[in-house]
Amino acid sequence: MEEGKMEQEKIILATTSPSRREAFEFLNIPFTAEGSKVEEKFEQRSNSPKALVLCLSEIKATAVAKKHLEEQTFIFGFDSVGFHKNKILEKPANKAAAKQRLLNLSGQKHSFLTGLTLLKTGGGRVEQLDQRVVETEVKFRELALEEVEQYLNKDPHFKTYALGYNPVAFVSSSFIEEINGSPTNIMRGIPLNTAAEMLSNFGLYPAKEIKPKIVICASSAFRKEMVEYKAKLKELGLTAIVHPLYEEVVKGEHPDFLEKIKTEHGAIKREYGFVQWYFDQIKTADGILVLNLEKNGVNGYVGVNTASEMLFALYCKKVVFLLNPAQIKCPSYDEVMASTDLVLNGDLSQIKERLTKKF
């Protein structure tokens, strides 16, 4: 490691919530997210909303922590419920239940509580570092039956929200009249002020010096080149990511992979979760580098899978770098041209120059 450079600790959010993941990105620290897949309904659950969200956030964090016992990681678990007239409010079972709930909340105050549990793993152990509960009180304006029905007919995801409504989209974004407490708690399901404080107590926030992250995308035929370019980007002070299977194959592991990829390309990609892996990495990266080299007599080759990764990166507003100029003979020429005009002509220093402006 270069003198003066520090690597950020590994942080994992024990959640599949898109809202929480998007909100956590505002803290500008690297992280990954994993679902806990725990059963939230069980006997002897607490009737106290504070005790319940603490318990469930700990259960979720612990479930993910057990997958990372040997490596040093920090696991952040969350759970949220609503509370109104001494009743805990969780995800509504159906549209009728959601409708009745929203009408009951009309003109009323209710609370939204989130439990946060921060764990540390390593050496086969799990250590609890901190636990908090944050309560945000909100008040609804008077709602008309028609707008409640309109909302429920428009938002297909109403059943995924603890309170049964989306506070930042659709007509339901107009329901809240007053907020007392953390805005991001009610809006995103994560009180960022508390999360930042918990992380800062253990040196995890603000972010340490972070190297821009680049995902290297290319045809599997260019696996050796991907590993080589990963090393080149590292020399420039960048963090480069290559699918771990390609790195293992280059080392001589998985000899059957090379044969299967020729005849069972799609099945192998599904088996090893290539699509999900690339999409997850691209979402948290600063950009992608496409190695469009020579293949099958075509210079600047970009396959269908790589083209889809380029388009996804464009959708996620990431920077897309093309190593060499696009060639019209390339099977995905149109997609390539639609994704980027940043052609490096082999000059990787342009990546560092472009991305370090963000840091």
Query: CA nearest 105: which of 72, 61, 137?
Result: 137
| Beta-sheet strand order (sheet of 287-290) | 239-241, 213-217, 287-290, 319-322
334 is catalytic: no
Q: Contact 267/301 with Cβ under 8 angstroms? A: no
How far apart CA 140 and CA 87 sit, in angstroms, is 17
Q: Which long-range contacts (CB under 8 A, 24 or more apart) does 293-297 make?
A: 293/218, 293/222, 293/225, 293/323, 293/324, 295/219, 295/221, 295/222
How far apart CA 344 and CA 98 sit, in angstroms, is 53
Please tell me which residue in 79, 256, 286, 334 is annotated as part of the active site: 79
Rama region for 108: left / alpha / beta (φ>0; ψ in -120 to 50; rest):
beta
Whether the link from the prior residue into 206 is cis, omega within 30° of 0, is yes
Q: How many helices (H) and strands (E) in the chain?
A: 14, 11
Strand bridging mode 11-14 / 73-84: parallel
| Helix pair angle (274-283, 304-315), 10° resolution | 30
Active-site amino acid positions:
79
